């Protein structure tokens, strides 16, 4: 069995090139690849297209790469928590493709499954449909959406083994499993790395066949995006 373990996040991103398309797992700040984002900041790679449900917040997650102007395009669903994102969008510095969340998820899943396009009713009659083919099925209108794929998919898991098999924990599962299938190279950072054979096969969410590189993260802040407490 192939051992896919690498020395850390800096080695993981060493061949990510200027102008690359990246998928980054997570939902809000939950399940984001914190260590790999830090490595991308250190590397200083630029002109990135980032496919992610959101853009993090101003001082955490993808928001850090927006501050350093490493991202030129975002393909996302929800971006309301990032003021720097808003500023760059309104000033024309950042190209943005906003999608219904289900459409974003299905376009990524389609990319991983080898399905080049599909029809969906989401977005019909809105700006989302501009320039897209519309057909009628059983009396209802649907628009054509294309798959999404990436040069590199970067995901975060709870546990992984040396063969690249991954288990996600709770809601941190979110976009990570589908993104793991849709990249030419998938990089996985995990909180706990174990020898191959130690994970229960029935619990594995992402089979190792989809993962090319895996490492154990050294720190996780796991920041809470919106904290509500009783007085």
Domains of the chain, residue spans: 9-116+149-216
Pairwise CA distance, residues 94 & 36, whole Å = 22
Pairwise CA distance, residues 86 & 24, whole Å = 19
Nearest one of 148, 150, 167 to 214, comparing CA atoms? 167
Strand partners, 214: 5, 188
Encode pLDDT of 60-94 as tens digits: 999 999 999 999 999 999 887 788 988 999 999 99
Spell out the CATH class of 9-116+149-216: alpha beta
Query: Taking the chain, what is the end-to-end CA distance rounded to the nearest angstrom?
Result: 54
Element (H, E) at 179: helix 176-181
Are residues 206 and 199 in contact, defined by beta-carbon separation less than 8 angstroms? no
The alpha carbon of 92 is separated from its chain's Cα centroid by a whole number of angstroms, namely: 23
What token pair was written down for 10? Answer: 């800096």
Grouping H, G, I as helix, E, B as strand and the rest as coil, residue 226 is coil
pLDDT in single tens digits along all 231 residues of the chain: 799 999 999 999 999 999 999 999 999 899 999 999 999 999 999 999 999 999 889 889 999 999 999 999 999 998 877 889 889 999 999 999 999 999 999 999 999 999 999 999 999 999 999 999 999 999 999 999 999 999 999 999 999 999 999 999 999 999 999 999 999 999 999 999 999 999 999 999 999 999 999 999 998 888 887 888 998
The whole-model pTM stands at: 0.93
| Beta-strand runs (E) in 147-225 | 150-161, 166-167, 183-194, 213-216
């Amino acid at each position: 069995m192939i051992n896919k373990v690498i020395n850390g996040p800096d080695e993981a991103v060493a061949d990510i090139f200027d102008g690359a398309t990246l998928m980054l797992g997570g939902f809000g700040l939950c399940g984001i690849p914190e260590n790999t984002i830090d490595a991308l900041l250190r590397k200083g790679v630029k002109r990135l297209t980032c496919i992610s449900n959101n853009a993090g917040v101003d001082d955490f997650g993808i928001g850090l790469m927006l501050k350093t102007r490493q991202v030129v395009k975002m393909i996302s669903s929800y971006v309301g928590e990032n003021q720097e994102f808003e500023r760059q969008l309104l000033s024309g510095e950042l190209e943005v493709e906003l999608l219904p969340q289900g459409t974003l998820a299905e376009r990524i899943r389609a990319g991983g499954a080898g399905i080049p396009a599909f029809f969906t009713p989401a977005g019909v009659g809105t700006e989302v449909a501009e320039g897209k083919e519309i057909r009628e099925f059983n009396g209802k209108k649907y628009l054509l959406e294309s798959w999404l794929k990436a040069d590199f998919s970067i995901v975060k898991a709870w546990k992984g083994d040396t063969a690249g098999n991954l288990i996600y924990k709770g809601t941190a599962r979110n976009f990570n499993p589908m993104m793991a299938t849709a990249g030419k190279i998938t990089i996985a950072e995990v909180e706990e790395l174990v020898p191959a054979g130690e994970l229960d096969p029935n619990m594995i969410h992402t089979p190792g066949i989809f993962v090319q590189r895996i490492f154990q993260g050294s720190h996780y802040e796991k920041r809470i995006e919106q904290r509500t407490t009783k007085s």
